[in-house]
């Protein structure tokens, strides 16, 4: 865990480290707010420009941007951690299971098929934009950069095709052996939470068809039985909509929007809003940290993802390098 210096107080956000990655901007992306007008004191954005904070004298608004054309404003509430901790909300990819490389590979395969170039490869600079968000956001980013004449709908056809093939192969024991690797210490961490009667919610922006085989594979690896029986609640981005296929809400409301974390806590675990301070969320991605923070919970940043690169470390209540450190915060 690390302490911050050079901090400023921002309503709702609390003390923010000036060196944590947030950047000053003069105007919100939708041009509704400008520093010095309508009572706006400052505007700050995460380093990846996914979330903007419009700061007033006594409150702050957040603007979650969308490459799909549906941005949204949310109030920013102060967060605090009070013990006993009643619930721990956990991300899947990168936090519970190491699988980002696999899903980035699927995005790469999808774009390669879309442009008809089997040798196509993503660049290192693309990684923060093709992980941690929704499938549509990932595909939209790639289309804008590599093939602006194509559509997300076109790309999604290939994404579904490659995902079905690879997931079926994994479930049959013929797929990539390194696809889903449990994070070191995951089993002991989860069992410790259970021993302390702390509720556990699993949260992912991934679609059900790709997310559930991940955690199922990890639990089989750890000899932990059925994850659906172990976790107190699991929420995914639902099912992808397509012609002839009824889908569910999830592609336009994933992290960094607050809804996945809000729903797993309030609906899945029965944690009421007045009990928010007894809930923590664990994430390794900037989008996830923003999501937890906007849902009103204390975010614990997990090193190894893109939190520092995305400029969201200042939004973390704590920043830890392993599950042992996280337990010292929770217990």
167-212 residue pLDDT tens:
888 777 777 777 888 999 999 999 999 999 999 999 998 888 888 8
Q: Helix-strand-coil percent breakdown of the chain, rounded to 5?
A: 35, 20, 45
Omega within 30 of 0 (cis) for the link into 84: yes
Q: Are residues 266 and 128 in the same domain?
A: no
Residue 249: count of CB within 10 angstroms of its CB: 12
- The structure's pTM equals 0.85
Same domain as 120, residue 47: no
> Domain range spanning residue 60?
7-75
Q: Are 92 and 109 found together in one domain?
A: no
pLDDT of residue 208: 87
For the chain, list the strands marked E by DSSP: 7-10, 14-17, 23-25, 42-45, 51-55, 60-64, 72-75, 87-91, 97-98, 181-182, 199-203, 233-235, 279-283, 298-302, 318-320
Please determine, for residue 5, whether its predicted confidence score (pLDDT) is greater than 70.
no
Cα–Cα distance measured from residue 257 to residue 266, given in angstroms and rounded to the nearest whole number = 15
> Is beta strand 14-17 parallel, antiparallel or unpaired with respect to 7-10?
antiparallel
Task: Mark whether 17 and 125 lie in a shared domain.
Answer: no
Find out whether 21 and 47 touch, Cβ atoms under 8 Å: yes
Last residue within a domain, chosen from 148, 171, 194: 171
Whether residue 187 lies inside any domain: the answer is: yes
In a shared domain, residues 293 and 153: no
Residues 294 and 250 in one domain: yes
Could you tell me if 249 and 157 lie in one domain? Answer: no
The predicted structure's pLDDT at residue 132 = 67
- pLDDT of residue 2 exceeding 70, the answer is no
pLDDT given at position 330: 97
Q: What is the pLDDT of residues 21-48, one digit of tens each?
A: 899 999 999 999 999 999 999 999 999 9
- Please indicate, yes or no, whether residues 20 and 109 belong to a single structural domain of this protein: no
pLDDT over threshold 70, residue 4: no
CATH number at residue 92: 3.40.50.1000
Q: Which residue has the tokens 């579904």?
A: 160
* 80 is a domain residue: no
281 lies in the same domain as 136: no
Number of domains in the chain: 3
In a domain, 30, yes or no: yes
Establish how many alpha carbons lie within 13 A of residue 85's alpha carbon, considering only the half-sphere containing its beta carbon: 25
Q: Tell me if residue 106 falls in helix, strand or coil.
A: helix
Q: pLDDT confidence of 3, banded at 50, 70, 90?
A: very low
278 in the same domain as 216: yes
The predicted structure's pLDDT at residue 222: 92
- At 230-266, the pLDDT tens digits run 999 999 988 877 778 788 888 888 899 999 999 999 9
Residues 194 and 317 in one domain: yes
With a pLDDT cut of 70, the percent of the chain lying above it is 98
Q: Poorest-confidence range of 129-143, 248-262, 306-320?
A: 129-143
Note whether residue 125 is domain-resident: yes
Q: Indicate whether 231 and 263 sit together in one domain.
A: yes
d(CA 12, CA 9): 9
Helix (H, G, I), strand (E, B) or coil at 300: strand
């Amino acid at each position: 865990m690390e302490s911050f210096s050079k901090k400023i107080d921002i309503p709702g956000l609390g003390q923010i480290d000036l060196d944590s990655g947030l950047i000053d901007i003069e105007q919100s992306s939708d041009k509704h707010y400008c520093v010095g007008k309508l009572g706006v004191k400052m505007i700050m954005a995460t380093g990846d420009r996914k979330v903007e904070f419009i700061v007033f004298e006594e409150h702050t608004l957040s603007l979650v941007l969308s490459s799909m054309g549906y941005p949204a404003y949310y109030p920013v509430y102060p967060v605090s951690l009070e013990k006993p901790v009643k619930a721990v909300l956990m991300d899947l990819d990168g936090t519970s299971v190491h699988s980002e490389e696999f899903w980035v590979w699927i995005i790469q395969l999808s774009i390669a098929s879309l442009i008809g170039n089997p040798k196509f490869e993503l660049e290192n600079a693309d990684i923060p934009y093709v992980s941690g968000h929704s499938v549509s956001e990932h595909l939209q980013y790639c289309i804008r950069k590599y093939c602006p004449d194509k559509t997300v709908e076109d790309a999604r056809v290939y994404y579904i095709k490659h995902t079905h093939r690879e997931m079926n192969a994994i479930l049959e024991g013929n797929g990539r052996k390194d696809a889903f690797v449990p994070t070191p210490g995951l089993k002991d961490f989860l069992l410790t939470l259970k021993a302390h009667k702390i509720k556990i919610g699993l949260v992912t922006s991934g679609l059900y068809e790709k997310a559930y085989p991940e955690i199922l594979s990890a639990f089989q690896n750890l000899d932990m039985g059925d994850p659906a029986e172990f976790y107190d609640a699991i929420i995914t981005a639902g099912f992808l909509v397509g012609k002839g296929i009824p889908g569910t809400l999830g592609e336009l409301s994933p992290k960094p929007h607050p809804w996945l974390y809000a729903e797993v806590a309030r609906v899945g675990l029965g944690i009421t809003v007045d009990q928010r301070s007894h809930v923590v969320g664990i994430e390794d991605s900037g989008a996830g940290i923003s999501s937890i923070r906007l849902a009103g919970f204390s975010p614990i940043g997990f090193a190894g993802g893109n939190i520092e690169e995305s400029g969201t470390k200042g939004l973390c209540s704590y920043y830890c390098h392993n599950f042992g450190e996280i337990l010292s915060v929770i217990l």
